[in-house]
Amino acid sequence: MSVIKPKILVVCNSFPPAVSGVGQYVYSFVNKLTDNYEFTILTTDIVSLHGFKGIKRVQEYRYGYSKNKIIRVRCLPPYAPYLLTYPLTFVGSNIIKKESFNLIHLHSLGQIHSDALTILSKKRNLPVVYSVHAWKNVENLFANSLLGIYESAIVSQILRFADVITVLGTRSLKYINSFFCASRKHPRIEIVPNGVDFYNIRRIVNINEEKKSLNGVEDNILFIGRLSRIKGVYDLLKAFTIVKRFHDSCQLTIIGDGPLKNDIIHLVQKHDQLRKSVIFVGYILSRSLIYKHFYNSTVLVLPSYSEGMPTVILEAMAVGVPVIVTDVGDISDVIVHGENGLLVKPGDVKELAENILAVIWDKNLRRKLMINGLETAQKYDWSIISKKIDSIYRSLI
């Protein structure tokens, strides 16, 4: 006799194969909890978004599992902050009215689908989990101004409709708490950090094989992320030119795509010191291939100006690669400076270069970061993180 599983509608702005922290987060916990719940995932058909100018569409692609229903909605103009996902609002509204769900799980603060469907769900007496990921992670000053108005006028009113709000870490918790007066009742707020498929990564990576240098280059510095100003790519290139002065036998590998791709390639081609030492790989879908790039790297560098809790640093540590990251978002919940990684100030190119050289030159430091990083990543395995989500679901259903 088959067991009837609770039905969960998960709504998110993107989902694999899209390159998105939110999409990967949803994919990972759904995959872990699929035996406990019947999930319907409502998402967009966007693969990548380059400054709201270049939209790519998802083709038919199941991304490795077929137990759950995935509904992809075509995104339509205007491709603007907050309004971008309005088609999800209409489709989600119809789904909620026509189908019977035990709980609605909405993702991403500052998007119209999360806010509108929160209100609609509560009108139908459905439990709502509202997950906050990276916030105000946009570069356009006008868009930031609009989001500031939204933050001051709307956020606290919307969030009061949720039964549980989840955040990635302690800074996010403090930020969300700031919207509620201590004297007034507000939703339960839980920290549910990002996770990593630690044991799967360890199976993929042959940890007994010695690292091989790339094309005779002794040390490889790795960047993985969207090629945008907010990710600090220009800062990394400036820091790399400093590193090359003191350690010529190194290269920088850049994996990713984004609005600054052509500008960065043009800049590198004009710079004699960078031309032969910066490798552009582009966008990579396969996580196994990305893990190989990790394995052939000395250090992962992520010099962002804004983040939530990036999956890429957990993946690097799971492979056994030291990480250098800026102290933004909830990263300091994961990284303890000098113990399992190195933290630098956003925009401080000199400090960034010094820390890269420290990892390259100091083998004892590098070994310490690798060992402690592995231990940290194991604590963030999705088998552990998904239990937090399961516990929240069970408390509401």
Percent of the chain, pLDDT > 90? 66
Residue among 325, 310, 330 at smallest CA distance from 170: 330
Give the model's pLDDT for residue 62. 45
Percent of the chain, pLDDT > 70? 86
Place of tokens 């491709």: 79
Q: Which of 2-11, 113-122, 131-140 has the highest mean pLDDT?
A: 113-122
Instruction: Please give the backbone phi and psi of residue 321, each rounded to the nearest 5 degrees, phi first.
Output: -110, 130
- Sign for the CA dihedral angle at 326, 328, 331, 332 comes to positive
Tens-place pLDDT, residues 213-261: 444 457 999 999 989 899 999 999 999 999 999 999 999 999 998 889 9
β-strand partners of 43: 72
CA–centroid distance for 223 within its chain: 14
164-167 and 128-131 strand pairing:
parallel
Give the model's pLDDT for residue 205. 80
Give the model's pLDDT for residue 214. 47
219-224 and 250-255 strand pairing:
parallel
Token representation of residue 242: 């400093």
Domains of the chain by start residue, with CATH: 7-195+381-396 (3.40.50.2000), 198-379 (3.40.50.2000)
Residue 380 has pLDDT above 90, yes or no: yes
The answer to whether the CB of 268 falls within 8 A of the CB of 237 is yes
Place of tokens 């790399």: 240
* Distance between CA atoms of residues 114 and 13, nearest Å: 9
The answer to whether the CB of 326 falls within 8 A of the CB of 303 is yes
Give the model's pLDDT for residue 153. 77
* Distance between CA atoms of residues 162 and 130, nearest Å: 6
Q: Using alpha carbons only, give the angle 370, 372, 375 rounded to the nearest 5 degrees.
A: 110
Tens-place pLDDT, residues 293-350: 998 899 999 999 999 999 999 999 999 999 999 999 999 999 999 999 999 999 999 9
69-73 and 38-44 strand pairing:
parallel
* pLDDT, averaged across the chain: 88
Tens-place pLDDT, residues 39-66: 999 998 876 544 444 555 555 444 444 5
- Other CB atoms within 10 Å distance of the CB of residue 288: 11
- For the chain, the straight-line distance linking the first and the last C-alpha, in angstroms and rounded, comes to 22
